[in-house]
Amino acid sequence: MVPPHHHYPPERSAPPGECGGHGRAVYRRRTRHFARCRAIVVGYGQFRAAPPEEAPLAGPDRGSRVVVVMGVSASGKSTVGALLARRLGVPFLEGDDLHPPANRAKMASGHPLDDADRRPWLAALTEWIRATAASGHGGVASCSALKRAYRDQLRRTGADLWFVYLALDRAVAAERIAHRKGHFMPPVLLDSQYAALDPLHADEPGVTIDASAGTAQVVGAALRAVCGPDR
């Protein structure tokens, strides 16, 4: 058995011709929980849609997993979460959309949220996870989920919850934020995010991925972790 939480580094793309005269090597991973996981790993970390006849068969207790893509601001949660949901064929939720206007205004003014501010947001996210798991098709949500206490609350829904933690060095995050346009989260709040960050623990179901790699490599690593043979 694979432990509940492990580190999963992104893989590189295969150089042209590396797979030899037999064409591009195709490596299929069995899925255990996502009835709609329609991906085949092609070469090293590249993906294409799987034809219907190659799709995993649905079974009892499968297809209801909810994946939460977590991390600090600028770690790529929204981009990775949306692409992961598309590959899995499940709904995607941008967690920031659940913040009430007062929270967004507070953050935009350079003031970090406290636990009281996050309470209605966590309640809304908890309800979305509960409803999505009950629907039977699963889903993907992006949200910071910085504190263990927040993740514990989400797990109390009883859903099959799996966290993808996008780990990012502070210097890289700062550089990304400096070049980001049109986002309500100002760079000044980055320090408060790292101060609150409680990285994914070994006993929490999920995977830690180096978010400094390219988007395709990060999404590929997340997909392999979610759809691996022991998931």
Q: How high is the pLDDT of residue 203?
A: 96
* 141 located within any domain: yes
Q: How high is the pLDDT of residue 44?
A: 26
Which residues constitute the domain of residue 99?
A: 5-226
- What stretches in the chain show pLDDT beneath 50? 1-3, 8, 11-62
* 210 located within any domain: yes
Distance separating alpha carbons of residues 84 and 46, to the nearest angstrom: 13
Q: At what angle do helices 77-88 and 215-226 cross, to 10 degrees?
A: 50
Q: How high is the pLDDT of residue 54?
A: 29
CB 32 within 8 A of CB 224: no
* 214 located within any domain: yes
Q: How high is the pLDDT of residue 9?
A: 52
Q: How high is the pLDDT of residue 229?
A: 57
CB 5 within 8 A of CB 203: yes
Q: Which of 116, 140, 115 is nearest to 129 (CA)?
A: 140
* 231 located within any domain: no
CB 143 within 8 A of CB 96: yes
Q: Is the pTM of this model over 0.85?
A: no
For 26-57, write each residue's pLDDT tens digit. 333 333 344 444 332 322 233 333 333 223 32
User: Residue 14: which CATH number?
Assistant: 3.40.50.300
* 54 located within any domain: yes
* 75 located within any domain: yes
For 77-89, write each residue's pLDDT tens digit. 999 999 999 999 9
Distance separating alpha carbons of residues 36 and 4, to the nearest angstrom: 22
* 11 located within any domain: yes
* 76 located within any domain: yes
Domain count across the chain: 1
